[in-house]
Amino acid sequence: MSSDDLAHFHPLDPGRINTIDPVELRYWCQQLQCNEAQLRQALAMAGDHVTAVRDQLAALRN
């Protein structure tokens, strides 16, 4: 699946990140402007709620 295909992808639960689905992980990496390692680190620290992960990624960047 290319990044163009991700433009049409929508997660089943837009408030949580499903770590089991590789397509969803790629989608969230694109949305949150991070790589998978950074996303997994933020998930480990903040849980799977998108807002908490976004905040954690911002903290990791500072």
User: Considering the domain boundaries, does residue 8 fall inside one?
Assistant: no
Q: What is the pLDDT of residue 50?
A: 98
Higher pLDDT: 6 or 3? It is 6
Residue 39 tokens read as 């996303």
Burial per residue of 15-42, b for 16 or more beta-carbon CB atoms within 10 angstroms, e otherwise: ebbeeeeeebbbbbbeebebeeebbebb
User: Considering the domain boundaries, does residue 25 fall inside one?
Assistant: yes
Higher pLDDT: 39 or 6? It is 39
Domain count, the chain: 1
The mean of the pLDDT values for the chain is 92
pLDDT tens column, 20-45: 999 999 999 999 999 999 999 999 99
Q: Is the pLDDT of residue 2 over 60?
A: no
Give the predicted TM-score (pTM) of the model: 0.87
Q: Quote the domain boundaries for residue 39.
A: 14-61
Q: What is the DSSP string of the chain?
A: --HHHHTT---SSTTB--TT-HHHHHHHHHHHT--HHHHHHHHHHH-SBHHHHHHHHHHHH-
